Amino acid sequence: MVKINGLTYNYSPEVQLKFPDFSLSKGEQALILGQSGCGKTTLLHLLSGLLQPNSGNVDVENENITKMSGARLDNFRGANIGIVFQTPHFIEALTVKENLTLTQTLAGKTRDVDKVKTLLADLGVESKLNSKLNALSVGEKQRVSIARALVNSPALILADEPTSALDDKNCDAVLKLVREQAKKYNSTLLIVTHDNRLKDPFDKRIEL
């Protein structure tokens, strides 16, 4: 389902990053651990096709995304990969609902408000449906960003330090939610973190 092999990325001739090979099957949940600066975010960008590797392959849903480019890659990413960022960002001019329906249409899917409502309810932020993003707390924003990563039922969910900006209480809740939801939609989940608070058992732990 997700497979990388021989993946390298050169920031400059002096700074070269080499990533260990691994593969995840459908619905598997994995943790990638490593100190800051070891290339966690770079790996995530390579996995989502935001960066092109210098060598190696990334297969998602049996498609080698390093061979894709342009609009095809953007489309594939929108439809198959959901990303939760460390600090949640949104289109500030839009409401929660509009941000989520935009995510559906940008990925080429049909607008489905019911799905948006179900997701927000599952994540405990259904009351924020028509709120502007700047009216939400950081914890609420992170829940909405999980909803956004899930709204297109992607095959792969990538989470980049999703809990590092949250307090302990929110950290546990958000982690629990993202795992539950990934399971619900049978999405493969890959969390990149250096957060020591994530002690739950994962199917796989990969050290960088």
For other proteins, which is the closer residue by CB, 91 or 121?
91
Interface with other proteins in residues 61-120 (CB under 8 A): 70-71, 74-75, 77-79, 83, 85, 89-94, 98, 101-103, 105-108, 111
Which residues, in sequence order, are bridge partners of residue 81? Answer: 156
For other proteins, which is the closer residue by CB, 91 or 135?
91
For other proteins, which is the closer residue by CB, 135 or 176?
135
The nearest distance, CB 55 to other proteins, in angstroms, is 17
Among 41, 57, 118, 131, binds other proteins (CB under 8 A): 41
Report how far Cα 127 is from the mean position of its chain's Cα atoms.
24
From the number of C-beta atoms within 10 Å of its C-beta (0-12, 13-18, 19+), residue 158 rates as buried
Among 45, 115, 128, 141, binds other proteins (CB under 8 A): 45
Stretch that binds other proteins, among 42-50, 169-177, 185-193, 197-205 (CB under 8 A): 42-50
The nearest distance, CB 105 to other proteins, in angstroms, is 6
DSSP E strands in the chain: the ranges are 2-10, 16-18, 22-24, 29-33, 55-60, 63-64, 81-84, 156-160, 188-193, 204-207
Beta strands at 188-193 and 156-160: parallel, antiparallel or unpaired: parallel
| DSSP-derived 3-state class of residue 194 | coil
Give the per-residue contact string, 120-159, with other proteins (x = CB under 8 A; - = no).
Answer: ----------------------------x-----------
Is position 53 an interface residue for other proteins (rule: CB under 8 A)?
A: no
Q: DSSP readout, 21-57?
A: -EEE-TT-EEEEE--TTSSHHHHHHHHTTSS--SEEE
Kindly list the residues in this chain that would bind other proteins in the complex (CB under 8 A).
Answer: 41, 45, 48, 50-51, 70-71, 74-75, 77-79, 83, 85, 89-94, 98, 101-103, 105-108, 111, 148
